[in-house]
Chains A and B, each alone.
Chain A
């Protein structure tokens, strides 16, 4: 019982291309000249050349030392550790953040106010302060026990053994990040037309499927750009854990230059690595955005 598709767009029948014998002569279009633009471009070009010359000709930049340390094993290890902290921090951040965002949008007032309180609290405390709190948790609670809340405990463990400096750093970064991620995810969920959720509900699509198949993929369009910011921010943000003497990139660089005194060269090494990592992430972001843009022109 098929029927031919109805032609819905009217055909444009004007044949502008065929000019009659008495048509006016074809006119040539001359675009506006922009001498000001050319002058500005020339000025910027000169400034660029000056900057390049200043970087290359001044021996104090120590470019050969930069080359020497860029791929040194200790630096590579530090880069790896920085990446680990970033991945764990953003992983915990977005997992917990998504849960918080869903809680915040819940109709249960306790769930939504707890999520609100979490965001308010963790956004208010400087990251460096939170890290020190986790690092010094043992001063507050010597032992942490696992069991029934307010009831018997099955086993307990010394806080110092459970929360190593690395764990403290990951917890601090992740919990801090979760507050920001939850707002990003919430903004994304709110950006999706409520009619989408309604249509899914009207079709009887199960709740979880509504969220993960219908709403979140559409929310990703507004989540990804800000999430990209957040991840790139965290790559550099991991440098604050240097206060816990953890061998991430920034700390490792300081260790090396305090030994050999080539401060500028080693700061450059760190700069180059941060640049490389964020550039790779920016390219990745472009492809992720393109993936979630499918269906939109």
Chain B
């Protein structure tokens, strides 16, 4: 979908079997490459479908074809949006949701890295803890809500626990798998160079497992954002963007609901873009295949 936006320059990926000392491509000498202007860099064809959809929506609502209060016009949604932004309600709701998501994500990721590393490096730990963890992983996240609500109530604490759980599972699984999947070939090379155990971990296993670990963290970010919405629906105390959506639907204010949906979508997209930017920064040029 947005692959075109992140097309890598293929210039640095030419490979030539030059047996002479000269003629190395300039890119190997770390030259910077100029970026094309925004207008040509982004593929605007992706915007055609949404624009058409909005036009049709506006036309239908203007023509009053549907006589239900549930179909609101785009203009009404815009008005509501403006009102929400101006009154600071959006900021309050979004910041509450994001703060919870951030705490859950950080706690879950850190816990997941620790647990995943322990499982990855210790065969004993894998044998003992692994089967339980695999079973635990299969339980649908939302099945934990009743238990969590009984133990932690319906407020922020419960939500953060839930979000941490959502983040913990993918990070642990991917960290553990990444460490296990380091090719024996690299470990033998490290043995040939007499690497100590610590050097092996730091210089070979961690870099080799990093793509997988990063995938786990990326999934944790996505899942914890999805879980944020779910948590706000199911653990209703408090404020957040999910609560905005619930309020809207309870009051039959579809404009508020649609506004909430748009905000959720944009936030999700922004988190995704952030993750991609981090990925590019870390993995630029090192690996030929993109992780997504």
Report whether chain A binds chain B: no
Interface residues, chain A, CB within 8 Å of chain B? none
